[in-house]
Structure formats: structure tokens, C-alpha cells
Amino acid sequence: MANTKNDLPEPTRTKMATLLNARLADSIDLMLQAKQAHWNVKGPEFIALHELFDKVADAASESVDLLAERAVQLGATAEGTIRTASKRSALPEYPVDIVDGRAHVAALSDRLATFGKGVRAAIQEAAGSSDDDTADIFTEISRSIDKYLWFVEAHAGAER
């Protein structure tokens, strides 16, 4: 850990940096999986899904910056290379052979839900470590991901 005048105890900063880097890997993976869907979607809802998947990728990209920058603020190194993300991501591998819009909706919504679950667990862990700022960042990300999960799931129709 780098020297910093941040008054959080070093063990807390170390724990939060590990948590932030774990979700950073997921966020990088989610961003690129959304791009995979964006580039390859086909079907009658092409333009709507193409544009939506790009917005999901943009939201994940914003999460990448929030997570990485918070880790560095705490005195850690942001571990955001593609190889690191590939090794550490908790998201399932995205199927590269799908093109159908509904299949992309199903695959991307699964990944958004997985990412959202991990972020909500991170909120609790950060709050339990008395790092309200990190918890707040995770809360901001959670709101955004839940919104995009809603948008993507809306394309699955009124299935209940």
C-alpha cells in the first residue's frame, strides 16, 4: 500500500482494495461482454438492442473508473488489465456463438444479475468495514446496474 493521509486504517484500506479490485475485474468483463452482444446482435429488434447493449457497456465502463480510482485513492494499485480481469472475474463466460436478440438478452441479463449480486454484497462488506465512501460507490454502481438489468429484461417480454 502506498503512503496516504487517508485516515482509514491500513487493514481496512487493504481489505477494501481487494474488494474493489475483485469487482473491477467483474466490471471490465461485463463491459466487454456487453460489447460482444452489441457487436453481434441480429434480429427484428437489432437497433434497439444494439444501442441498449452499448449503453450497458458505457455504464460498466463508468463503474470501471469508479472502482479503479477508489482503489488508488486508498493507496492500492488498480489491477485492471484484461488478463487480470479474465483470471478474476466472477461472471460466467459469454457465449460468442450467439446472434439472436433474445439469446443476447438472456445472456446479458444473467451477467448483469450476477454482477449486481456481487456489488450488493460489496456494499455490505464495505459498510461493515466502516468505509462509507466505498459503500457509497458500490451503491451508485448497484443503482446503475439494476436500471440496465431492468432495461435488458424488458426485452424478454411479459414472461411470468
Domains in the chain: boundaries: 10-154
**CA 111, 76, 35 angle in degrees (round to 5)?**
25
Render pLDDT for 78-108 as a digit per residue (tens, 0 to 9): 999 999 999 999 999 999 999 999 999 999 9
Locus of grid cell 465502463: 61
pLDDT band at residue 1 under the 50/70/90 scheme: confident
HEC-encoded secondary structure of 28-74: HHHHHHHHHHHHHCECCCHHHHHHHHHHHHHHHHHHHHHHHHHHHHC
Cα separation, 158 vs 160, in Å, equals 6
Render pLDDT for 39-57 as a digit per residue (tens, 0 to 9): 999 999 999 999 999 999 9
Residues 153, 113 contacting (CB under 8 angstroms): no
Which pLDDT value is given to residue 160? 47
User: The whole model's pTM is what?
Assistant: 0.95
Which pLDDT value is given to residue 3? 87
Cα separation, 15 vs 37, in Å, equals 33
Which pLDDT value is given to residue 79? 98
Render pLDDT for 118-159 as a digit per residue (tens, 0 to 9): 999 999 999 999 999 999 999 999 999 999 999 999 998 755
Question: For 10-154, which CATH superfamily applies?
Answer: Ferritin, core subunit, four-helix bundle (1.20.1260.10)
Cα separation, 52 vs 131, in Å, equals 33
Which pLDDT value is given to residue 159? 52
